[in-house]
Amino acid sequence: MRSISLASVLASVAGLATASPTHTDPEPPTKRSTLPTVTVSGNAFWQGDTRFYIRGVDYQPGGSSEAADPLADPKVCKRDITQFKALGINTIRVYITDNAKDHDICMNALADAGIYAILDANNPKYSISRLNPDPSYNEVYLQSVFATIDAFAKYPNTLAFFSGNEVVNDGANSTLSARYVKATTRDMRQYIGNRGYRKIPVGYSAADVASNRRQLADYMNCGTDDERSDFFAFNDYSWCDPSNFIQSGWVDKVKNFTDYGIPIFLSEYGCNTGGKRDFGEFAALMSENMTSVYSGGLMFEYAMGPNAYGIVTIGDKQSDTVQQQSDFARFAEALAQHPAPSGKGGAKSSTHAMACPTKDANWLVDSTLLPAIPQGAKALMKSGAGTGPGLDGPGSQNAGGTSTGDAKPGSGSATASPSSTKNAAGKPNARSVDKQPFAVAGLVILLTLSGTLLL
């Protein structure tokens, strides 16, 4: 054992006594919720020991054109939470949030109503470019993504994050962007772990494109553990009333993913080309035909827009008046008639990776290697993202600070255990011990011994 000087010991002890948390640690919410967190185990979501099924709606009043955060506006969210409670849903998906604003009131109001939120980490200004992904995967983009994680990780009803939405579409060239979406997923999972947050699931929301659906799903669940998604979701509009489990082709979507290895759910569903929607697909999602593979889904959508999918009409964004459409009652009836199944629903207890897809005419990715995280973003793993740019920031598409090569598989593993230093509210866990009493005790012992030696 190396000897050390008394002065250096005293300096070390003093340092322990004055240690403080980093400046970018998230602030706790203003109100604690008793709503339990949702976790991933095997190929399903769990609320404690109870299987959790996503029974919700896609929520973006005003649509993407307005680029407004409904969870940062208490008047808007409280108006709509009243309708969510009338429906009987347990989850909403929000496509656009502002990482520079406070969300305590809305997230706590949702928690009080028993409602979880799945959040897209991108927004129109900060996202991966479908056809020019390399320069868009940069440190400015990732700082915004990480700031969104910081903004919502403290809430127990943050169910999951999406690393992208329909970035890959039916164009073969768009599949080249999959490497960058997967790298973002890896980076988000590592940031969550390194910052000491609970293990909030991260996954991707895919377009339902027959030519690359299975390749993309396998790609997001192949490779080393740090490179794999926690779940996979896709947007599906193949069940158009009148239809059924066989006619819609959903039977094949169950067979094709029977041994997929991680949770799957529908991030959008609800075809409206047949006019009146009976939501028979929701009954299928809650049936034994699907529960061994799928964990529910999100009906598109809550607020009426130009595409006429909404189940309510809102006069304007700030209006107090919400008019329920006929689909509202039918969806509420479907939710009431088909409760979440009891038991495990056929869920598998273990998870596993898939084989990475090989290049073909419809899938142009020819390497299993992912882009290395940009150096500027890598530094944020320790320092934290700091203040987010919000929705008024200049954007990130060609901001510079890009990746300079490929990452070594396994290099994206978190270097801190989830929740090892902070719980969901950013507070120290019981396992995180205050060093000050030990520092003082050590100082007393040291001085005592020093005095003894001098006698």
Catalytic residues: 166, 268
Helix/strand/coil percentages in the chain, nearest 5: 35, 15, 50
Residues 6+ apart with CB under 8 A from 430: none
Which residues lie closer than 8 Å to 185 by C-beta, 6 or more apart?
163, 164, 202, 203, 204, 220, 229
Distances (CA, A) of 217 to 240, 265, 391: 23, 12, 30
How far from chain centre, in Å, is Cα 297? Answer: 15
| Cα dist from 228 to 3, 210, 216, 218, 423, whole Å | 46, 22, 12, 10, 24
Q: Name the CA radius of gyration of the chain, rounded.
A: 24
The residue type at 61: P
Q: What are phi and psi of 210, to 5 degrees?
A: -60, -35
Distance, CA of 291 to CA of 341 (rounded, Å): 8
Q: Is there a contact between 283 and 336 (Cβ–Cβ < 8 Å)?
A: no
Taking the C-alpha atoms of residue 262 and residue 18, their distance in angstroms, rounded to an integer, is 44
- In b/e form, how buried is each residue of 210-219, taking b as 16+ CB within 10 angstroms? ebbbebbbbb
Tell me the pairing of strands 39-41 and 202-207: unpaired
One-letter identity of residue 18: T
Give DSSP secondary structure letters for 105-161. Answer: HHHHHHHHTT-EEEEES-BTTBS--SS-HHHHSBHHHHHHHHHHHHHHTT-TTEEEE
Residue 453's Cβ-count burial label (10 Å; 0-12, 13-18, 19+) is exposed
Residue located via tokens 């890009």: 402
Q: Which amino acid would we find at residue 244?
A: N
Tokens of 22: 């980093």
DSSP codes, 396-448: -TT-S-B--SBPPTTTT--SS-TTSS--TTSPPPTTS--SHHHHHHHHHHHHH
